Amino acid sequence: MDDVFENIKVGQTDEFVHEITEKDIDGFCELTGDDNPLHMDDTYAADTNFKERVVHGMLTASFISTMIGTRLPGKGSLWYEQHIKFLTPVRIGDKIRIWAKVVHKSESQRIIVLQTMIYNQFDKTVIEGEAKVKVLERRKKENEKGINKLENMDQTKGAIIISGASSGIGAATAITLAKRGYAVVVNYRSNEKDALSLVEEIESFGGRSFCTKADITNKEEVELMVSAALNKYDVIEGIVNNASAPINYRSFEEISWDDFQLHLNVQIKGSFNLCKAVMAHFVENKKGSIVNISSVYADNVPPVKMMHYSLAKSALVSFTRSLAVEHGPLGIRVNCVSPGMTNTDMIADIPEKSKMIAKMTTPLRQLAEPEDVANTVAFLISDDSRHITGETIRVCGGQVMI
């Protein structure tokens, strides 16, 4: 796949023309609710200095989005900042020319700065400004990398149960472990569609997997899931406690104990239930590996409005250490993986500027991908880490160093 960012040059320009119609104005009014009579009522507009209806300023400016998303830079562009000066009114029937020029390109941040101009049919400036655009880098799927089927896969390894595995870090971990020969039990609570799709993907390259619905905060549902895994694969070699509750950002004044309880239920009660259900099997085999997905916020300065999330992750680290001490003599290892900010759906709503700040304050100057976390989990599950227990490995690009 071509990288749009690589092809962009400083000084590059592009432009296109659009004729403003009454349909444009009606559509914008319906979408935004801005029914200001200056834009919508001929009689009202005739009694003003403009004499006739004026097009919404932001309707005109919206064509900058068309430029950015479809032409310059093009696909994968995220428009995150714009400075605008409205200089000349636009009316129905005007032909506006949208023009942009690349004035700066940041290789490290994949940011393009554009000079943005809109002119009318008389070449009079309607809008002038500057846009900042982040050109996203699309992660390649394995089949795009030329990997379709893994030959001679070791099919003798036991099963790994992954909670909350239908997307993000959980899904990446499932794929990584499946490629290393483990049978993977994909747990989900509500996202059946993605869970089934993940199983299909794993089976497409010769892996073994099935998905099972279970609310990990429900002891009986967890026990049924573990029984199903044992019936299908005979041996469970490890579990990954990955499930996490949605983060509702709340200040201390806004937060309630229910917010804390939600995260404690998923992170601690859920992990407890799954560990409890599998432990007798591990003890019988004198072997088992448990990996809990925590967060760097558990041992770093926590972000504001995430007290409930940070507290639950900190408790999970403590749970990990206590379990490791008690069950180490029985051949069972328990460790944590603590990601920093990672490119998953969980951070999709975080402002792009915040993501860039996090990236630039990280020594490796990049955010983690789910596969980075998954590879670390796979190491801790495997015998390659047979003398590691009670540890926390941070996958954060050096953001935290202890």
Residues catalogued as catalytic: 309
Longest dimension (CA), the chain: 88
Query: Strand ranges (DSSP E) for 107-204?
Result: 111-119, 125-135, 159-162, 183-188
Instruction: Give the span between the Cα atoms of 25 and 22, in whole angstroms.
Output: 5
* Collapsed DSSP state (helix, strand, coil) of residue 15: strand
* Count of other CB atoms within 10 angstroms of residue 257: 9
Instruction: Give the span between the Cα atoms of 171 and 191, in whole angstroms.
Output: 12
Q: Using an 8 Å Cβ cutoff, are 317 and 361 in contact?
A: no
Spatial CB neighbours of 27, under 8 Å, sequence gap ≥ 6: none
Q: Using an 8 Å Cβ cutoff, are 87 and 125 in contact?
A: yes
Spatial CB neighbours of 50, under 8 Å, sequence gap ≥ 6: 38, 89
